[in-house]
Chain A
Amino acid sequence: RKEVEQDPGPFNVPEGATVAFNCTYSNSASQSFFWYRQDCRKEPKLLMSVYSSGNEDGRFTAQLNRASQYISLLIRDSKLSDSATYLCVVNTGNQFYFGTGTSLTVIP
């Protein structure tokens, strides 16, 4: 069973749209949770941490549901510059487990 599962997409949305990504993780002992963004052939960049209380950073809102082992990311008012792969990342023990990523393309 995969540690972290994501819908690979692709998601193609018009500028200004709201888009949501979901992710599930298998290990209930996982300690911390993140969304990263990866542009083509670049390094993963930390977008935000994810907490059970939910957290917001501008147009981005992340939510963690520990009971169902589910993580979400909502992007409001999509910009062309949001086009990237979004990686769900879970910290368990001494490593970070990466999902396969969800590809987003924002269309003019």
Chain B
Amino acid sequence: EPEVTQTPSHQVTQMGQEVILRCVPISNHLYFYWYRQILGQKVEFLVSFYNNEISEKSEIFDDQFSVERPDGSNFTLKIRSTKLEDSAMYFCASRMAGGVGAFFGQGTRLTVV
């Protein structure tokens, strides 16, 4: 069964450092998302991406965040200068066209120290 894959599974970084979280969405999917979940809290939307551009972003997704789909298969989330409060589980998701649900990757646990 096709799945969304994310790497790394866990990343520890120092405050102020840049991180890149990587995702390979399901191959025939057209819509891509990044979400995050701080421990014990709900899943929060960061950004959606369609047709090689951002279609919507949340207030969390400020200038420190960016996304790219560099080669037609990978979908990356970059955080330029990490803060302690960026520590969370980051989930990538993708879906086909139509009113279907999104499929989530296993997540990258980001710990900023």
Cα-based distance from A38 to B45 in the complex (angstroms): 16
Asked if B91 and A46 sit within 8 Å, CB to CB, the answer is no
Asked if B45 and A97 sit within 8 Å, CB to CB, the answer is yes
Asked if A101 and B42 sit within 8 Å, CB to CB, the answer is yes
In the complex, what residue of chain B is closest to A89 when comparing beta carbons? B101
Q: Does B99 contact A (CB under 8 A)?
A: yes
How many inter-chain contacts with C-beta < 8 Å in the A-B complex? 55
Residues 29-56 of A at the B interface (beta carbon under 8 Å): 31-32, 34, 36, 38, 41-46, 49
Residues 3-61 of A at the B interface (beta carbon under 8 Å): 31-32, 34, 36, 38, 41-46, 49
Asked if A87 and B43 sit within 8 Å, CB to CB, the answer is yes
Residues 18-45 of B at the A interface (beta carbon under 8 Å): 31, 33, 35, 41-45
**Contacting residue for A94 out of B44, B55, B104, CB 8 A:** B55
Chain B interface, DSSP helix/strand/loop, else mixed: strand
Asked if B45 and A95 sit within 8 Å, CB to CB, the answer is yes
Interface size in chain B (residues, C-beta < 8 A): 25
Asked if A99 and B56 sit within 8 Å, CB to CB, the answer is no
Asked if B99 and A44 sit within 8 Å, CB to CB, the answer is no
Interface size in chain A (residues, C-beta < 8 A): 24
What is the CB-to-nearest-CB distance from A23 to chain B, in angstroms, rounded to a whole number? 13
Asked if B45 and A93 sit within 8 Å, CB to CB, the answer is no
Cα-based distance from A94 to B93 in the complex (angstroms): 13
- CB contacts (< 8 Å) of B102 on chain A: these are 46, 96
1/0 contact string of B82-105 vs chain A (CB within 8 Å): 000000010101000001111111
A residues adjacent to B (C-beta < 8 A) = 31-32, 34, 36, 38, 41-46, 49, 87, 89, 91, 93-101
Identify 27 residue pairs between A and B in the complex whose beta-carbon atoms are under 8 Å apart, listed by A's number. A31-B99, A32-B99, A38-B43, A41-B89, A42-B106, A43-B104, A43-B105, A43-B106, A43-B107, A44-B43, A44-B104, A46-B102, A46-B103, A87-B43, A94-B50, A95-B33, A95-B45, A96-B35, A96-B45, A96-B102, A98-B35, A98-B42, A98-B43, A98-B45, A99-B42, A100-B42, A101-B42
